[in-house]
């Protein structure tokens, strides 16, 4: 008789344990919930409503072109008055106007900028020191002797690190040199910071001409390395009536605030590296 009652006693004991355990977990959960609620209120940080509204206007690319880690960072900075309302290079004019409305400011839309690759040393124009066999990454290849296989140590290596960095399909390698599609470029600056040779810069979208070379070598050395390239002859400076183009370290440079777009420098350049845009 006692033997027969043992299973029932064990079952009752197990049920009692389950009930006690369930009650304990329930009470613990309630205590933790209350504690978390109290802590949440203690450490609650009120978010500026304008920050939320501004964030909704931003595209969400998180490209970093604004100088902040992402769109959240820029939205917070705009709401605090630490960044301009038109600080996002990717946002369109409508979005920037909306942000300006949220912040109660008039949007001063600066001239649009686009990336430009300062090299014209395509495969048929440049000489090579050796054949490179390795990782197709400019940041890796630049560490080999001579900063790449091209005889011109300043030229585009053409491995496309900038292409990989662009989120907008605005840059591609064509015949060994990176080329920017100015209609797709949003001037986020990712390609600029990625290029290990600092060949890419942001210039005004409306810039009529640009110097497609970065070599600072003397003219005779440039001619040996590349069929095109600035030789520092200064013919362009003599053609410019506004003083918009100068030659420093054997390389021509255009001051776009002075340039009137006459095109005389490009017309007279013997190397044809001042290109129309």
Return the domain boundaries, the chain.
49-103, 111-206, 211-277
pTM, to two decimals? 0.73
What is the tens place of the pLDDT at every residue in 86-104? 888 888 888 888 988 888 8
- The structure tokens listed for 133 are 């066999």
Confidence bin at 5 (pLDDT 50/70/90): low
Helices H, strands E: what count in the chain?
10, 8
Domains 49-103 and 211-277 share a fold: no
What is the tens place of the pLDDT at every residue in 27-83? 777 777 777 777 766 665 566 788 888 888 888 888 877 878 888 888 888 888 888
What is the tens place of the pLDDT at every residue in 196-245? 999 999 999 999 999 999 999 999 999 999 999 999 999 999 999 999 99
What pLDDT score does 117 carry? 97
pLDDT value at 109 more than 70: no
Q: 137 or 14: whose pLDDT is higher? A: 137
Q: Kindly provide the residue ranges of all beta strands, DSSP E only, lying in the chain, ordered along the sequence.
A: 113-117, 171-174, 177-180, 200-204, 209-211, 245-248, 251-254, 274-276
Say how many CA atoms lie within 13 Å of 92 toward its Cβ. 2
Q: How far, in Å, CA of 269 to CA of 228, rounded?
A: 11
Q: Which fold has domain 49-103?
A: 3-methyladenine DNA Glycosylase II; Chain A, domain 3 (1.10.15)
**19-28, 78-87, 112-121, 242-251: least confidently modelled range:** 19-28
Tell me which CATH code domain 111-206 carries.
3.30.70.20
pLDDT value at 1 more than 70: no
Q: How far, in Å, CA of 9 to CA of 192, rounded?
A: 78
- Between the alpha carbon of residue 128 and those of residues 136, 160, 161, 224, the distances in Å are 16, 18, 20, 11
Buried b (16+ CB within 10 A) or exposed e, 138-165: beebbeeeebbbbbbbbbbbbbbbbbeb
Q: Which fold has domain 211-277?
A: Alpha-Beta Plaits (3.30.70)
């Amino acid at each position: 008789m006692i033997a027969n009652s043992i299973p029932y006693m064990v079952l009752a004991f197990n049920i009692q344990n389950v009930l006690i355990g369930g009650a304990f977990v329930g009470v613990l959960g309630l205590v933790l919930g209350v504690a978390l609620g109290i802590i949440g209120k203690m450490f609650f940080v009120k978010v500026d409503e304008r920050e939320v509204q501004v964030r909704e206007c931003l595209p969400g690319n998180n490209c970093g072109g604004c100088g902040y880690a992402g769109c959240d960072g820029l939205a917070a900075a705009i709401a605090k008055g630490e960044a301009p309302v038109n600080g996002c290079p990717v946002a369109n004019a409508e979005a920037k106007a909306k942000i300006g409305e949220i912040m109660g400011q008039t949007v001063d839309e600066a001239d649009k900028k686009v990336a430009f690759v300062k090299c014209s040393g395509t495969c048929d124009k440049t000489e090579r020191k050796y054949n490179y066999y390795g990782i197709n990454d400019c940041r890796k290849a630049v560490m080999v002797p001579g900063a790449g296989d091209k005889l011109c140590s300043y030229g585009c290596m053409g491995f496309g690190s900038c292409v990989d960095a662009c989120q907008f399909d605005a840059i591609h390698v064509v015949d060994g040199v990176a080329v920017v599609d100015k209609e797709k470029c949003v001037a986020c600056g990712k390609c600029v910071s990625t290029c290990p040779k600092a060949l890419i810069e942001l210039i005004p979208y409306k810039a009529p001409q640009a110097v497609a070379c970065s070599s600072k070598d003397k003219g005779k050395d440039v001619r040996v390395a590349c069929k095109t390239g600035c030789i520092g002859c200064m013919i362009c400076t003599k053609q410019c009536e506004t003083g918009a183009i100068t030659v420093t370290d054997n390389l021509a440079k255009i001051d776009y605030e002075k340039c009137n777009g006459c095109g005389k420098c490009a017309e007279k350049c013997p190397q044809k590296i001042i290109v129309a845009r």
